[in-house]
């Protein structure tokens, strides 16, 4: 069945770039997503990329998609303390499959 995998933890220094990686199995998904979960809250859509694109930039966020390798990444430039959260990679069209989430922590 469909599967989405990502590492569980990432620690970066404040001001550096964060790169969160994800691999997925279902190549038929029309969209791939990044959701953000802040402490004590539900998930919120952060950004998404259409499957026929290989890059999308939105302010400090850059999404890269390598369809051949089924690899998705999220880069956060100039990481701030407010970026501390769990980031979920997800894929799917009508039904969404979520990864395990990567907990991003920021060091001073």
Partner 1 sequence: DADVTQTPRNRITKTGKRIMLECSQTKGHDRMYWYRQDPGLGLRLIYYSFDVKDINKGEISDGYSVSRQAQAKFSLSLESAIPNQTALYFCATSDLGTNPNEQFFGPGTRLTVL
Q: Least separation, in Å, of the C-beta of 88 and partner 1?
A: 6
Find residue 24's DSSP bridge partners: 4
Q: Is 37 exposed, middle or buried (0-12, 13-18, 19+ CB in 10 A)?
A: middle
**Which residues in 18-57 contact partner 1 (CB under 8 A)?**
30-31, 33, 40-45, 48, 50
Q: Which is nearer to partner 1, 64 or 97 (CB)?
A: 97
> Which residues lie below 8 Å from residue 41, measured CB to CB, with a gap of 6+?
none
Instruction: Specify the stretch interacting with partner 1 by CB under 8 A; choose among 1-9, 12-20, 56-64, 70-78.
Output: 1-9
Cβ–Cβ contacts within 10 Å for residue 3, how many?
11
Tell the smallest beta-carbon distance from residue 43 to partner 1 (Å).
5
Which residue shows structure tokens 């970066």? 12
Q: Which residues are 61's β-sheet partners?
A: 58, 76
By residue count, the chain amounts to: 108
C-beta closer to partner 1: residue 1 or 108 = 1
Q: Supply 92's token pair.
A: 């799917």
Which residues ranging from 76 to 105 are in contact with partner 1 (CB under 8 A)? 88, 92-101
Can you give the binding site for partner 1, defined by CB under 8 A?
Answer: 1, 4, 8, 30-31, 33, 40-45, 48, 50, 88, 92-101
């Amino acid at each position: 069945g469909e599967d989405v995998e990502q590492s569980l933890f990432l620690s970066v220094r404040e001001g550096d770039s964060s790169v969160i990686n994800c691999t997925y199995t279902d190549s038929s998904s029309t969209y791939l997503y990044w959701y953000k979960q802040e402490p004590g809250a539900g998930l919120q859509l952060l950004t998404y990329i259409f499957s026929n694109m290989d890059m999308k930039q939105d302010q400090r966020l850059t999404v890269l998609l390598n369809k051949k390798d089924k690899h998705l990444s999220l880069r956060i430039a100039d990481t701030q303390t407010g970026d501390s959260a769990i980031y979920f990679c997800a894929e799917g069209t009508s039904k969404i499959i979520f990864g395990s989430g990567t907990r991003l922590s920021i060091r001073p």
